[in-house]
Amino acid sequence: MTQSMANIHMPPMSLPPAVKKVLQEAEERLAHRPRLAEQFKNCFPNTLETTTKLLDDDTTFVITGDIPALWLRDSVEQLMHYVPICGEDEELQRIIRGLIRRHMFYLSIDPYANAFNETANDWHWDPADETEMGPWVWERKFELDSLCFTVRLAYHYWKASGKSDIFDSGFKQGLRSIYELWRTEQHHMEESPYRFTRRNCPSIDTIRNQGKGMPVNYTGMIWSGFRPSDDACELHYNIPSNMFAVVCLRQMQEMVRFVYRDLEFAAELAQMEEEVQHGIELYGIYHHPQYGRIYAYETDGFGNYCLMDDAGTPSLLSMPYLSYCAVDDPMYLQTRRFILSTENPFYFEGKAARGMGSPHTPPDYIWHMGLSMQGLTASTDEEMLAMIDMLEATDADTGYMHEGFHADDPATFTRPWFAWSNSLFSHLVYTAMQKGLLDK
């Protein structure tokens, strides 16, 4: 099966009480902004209504929207805006807990894969991919951020629900598998078994050098074959993904220390955290003539840099959202000024909007997720509200968010059904509601 056969919907799901409560609150508090209220009513439950399926084994399967596979990254962010409200809602906890268990099952099958099937049906994005495919694997692009999202969901579910019901021996083995894979990929050129080649495709869809990647120097950071956009890395140390790994290594330490009481494993995780962080600080910073010291998007450890940012998460823009740094961190602010300027080759300005896009979509296409993330990481209420206004005005009268839209014409857009984008927009609007910014 290929992507051309992939337009399916999951069976409708009844909404948990906590989700209904938020929708009722929004209906009352956004009554004076009917267009925004309608968008929120559509987008907030979209993941549950169209992409989520409860399975008989007590796990949860979440498709991305217009593709019938579960992406580790996307599935987490599709549900992430529900995590803060799950504390007293057992139905919502069942959904989130089930996705964590599904992730751990997939991790036991292939920790290098980024997307999986619901069953061992042997469906693949491209059946001709030259890598160690299996019947459960939809796509086997190794993206460092994928496993980070598994950790992210588990950690925040634990904190929000107060429950430790996910922490069995299999979960601990999953954390160990993540650690071992990352340890291998710190020495990719010497130790990694991972290879990936795709024929007859754009260059961003395959890895060079017989599937091994271009040479990299040892830095302490973790190698990644592909970016969070699913595009191949130019230089294989992706800085946002390594920043995300630093955060997840801290979260893994906390879970291992306080749940499993395994101080030896916690020490190993702490050592890796220090190595990755040191690599970011030593190799991931570029001295820009206009913006000063900023984080690069990618490096190879040999002094080559890719200076840009991408609207997908993790991005350099998203680092406060992912808890790597504060919104007022000086280095972050200098980097933010660069990536929200036309010095970033994927920042676009047009008649209808201005914001970040991606090499994953055509030039001059701004991503709704980039605008939502800019709002979620804004240091001022004014900027947060400006992003909400821009999102509200660029839905092409569909009532939903999309992937990318043309900066001059929001009616020209990609992916009309992209659940992650709807979720991130909902997260931003609900955050602003909780701050009282949308009450007038």
β strands within 32-171, DSSP E: 52-54, 60-62, 70-71, 115-116, 137-139
Q: What percent of the chain has pLDDT over 70?
A: 98
Distance, in Å, from the CA atom of 92 to the CA atom of 320, rounded to the nearest integer, reads 26
Kindly tell me the burial class for residue 224, based on how many C-beta atoms sit within 10 Å of its own C-beta (0-12, 13-18, 19 or more). buried
Task: State pLDDT tens for residues 224-247.
Answer: 999 999 999 999 999 999 999 999
> What is the DSSP pairing of strand 237-238 with strand 298-299?
antiparallel
Kindly report the number of other CB atoms within 10 A of residue 120's CB atom. Answer: 12
Amino acid 66: pLDDT = 84
Kindly report the number of other CB atoms within 10 A of residue 411's CB atom. Answer: 12
Amino acid 203: pLDDT = 93
Residue range 199-208: average pLDDT? 95
The closest alpha carbon to 217, from 112, 307, 299, belongs to 299
Distance, in Å, from the CA atom of 24 to the CA atom of 44, rounded to the nearest integer, reads 12
Question: How would residue 292 be classed by pLDDT, with cut points 50, 70 and 90?
Answer: very high
Amino acid 5: pLDDT = 39
Residue 38: its H or E element = helix 34-43
Task: State pLDDT tens for residues 355-394.
Answer: 999 999 999 999 999 999 999 999 999 999 999 999 999 9
- 235: amino acid identity, one letter: L
Amino acid 9: pLDDT = 66
Indicate the DSSP class of residue 5. Answer: G
- 394: amino acid identity, one letter: T
φ/ψ of residue 60, rounded to 5: -130, 130
The closest alpha carbon to 186, from 196, 174, 194, 197, belongs to 194
Question: How would residue 305 be classed by pLDDT, with cut points 50, 70 and 90?
Answer: very high
Does residue 440 have a pLDDT over 90?
no
Does residue 79 have a pLDDT over 60?
yes
Look up residue 366 and give its two tokens: 């701004």
Kindly report the number of other CB atoms within 10 A of residue 327's CB atom. Answer: 15
CATH architecture designation of domain 3-434: Alpha/alpha barrel (1.50)
Task: State pLDDT tens for residues 120-151.
Answer: 999 999 999 999 999 999 999 999 999 999 99
Distance, in Å, from the CA atom of 320 to the CA atom of 153, rounded to the nearest integer, reads 16
Rg, the chain, Cα only: 21
Does residue 3 have a pLDDT over 50?
no
Q: Return mean pLDDT, the chain.
A: 96
* Residue 53 bridge partners (DSSP): 61
Q: What angle do CA 64, 98, 321 make, to 5 degrees?
A: 60
Residue range 250-273: average pLDDT? 98
Could you tell me which residues come within 8 angstroms of residue 171 by beta carbon, excluding any fewer than 6 positions away?
100, 104, 154
Could you tell me which residues come within 8 angstroms of residue 167 by beta carbon, excluding any fewer than 6 positions away?
158, 255, 259, 260
Amino acid 122: pLDDT = 97
Task: State pLDDT tens for residues 307-327.
Answer: 999 999 999 999 999 999 999
Distance, in Å, from the CA atom of 377 to the CA atom of 336, rounded to the nearest integer, reads 10
Residues 162, 432, 18, 91: is their CA dihedral positive or negative?
negative
The closest alpha carbon to 375, from 365, 366, 367, 385, belongs to 385
Amino acid 298: pLDDT = 98
Q: What percent of the chain has pLDDT over 90?
A: 95
Amino acid 165: pLDDT = 93
Task: State pLDDT tens for residues 24-54.
Answer: 999 999 999 999 999 999 999 999 999 999 9
Amino acid 4: pLDDT = 38
Could you tell me which residues come within 8 angstroms of residue 112 by beta carbon, excluding any fewer than 6 positions away?
132, 140, 142, 181, 194
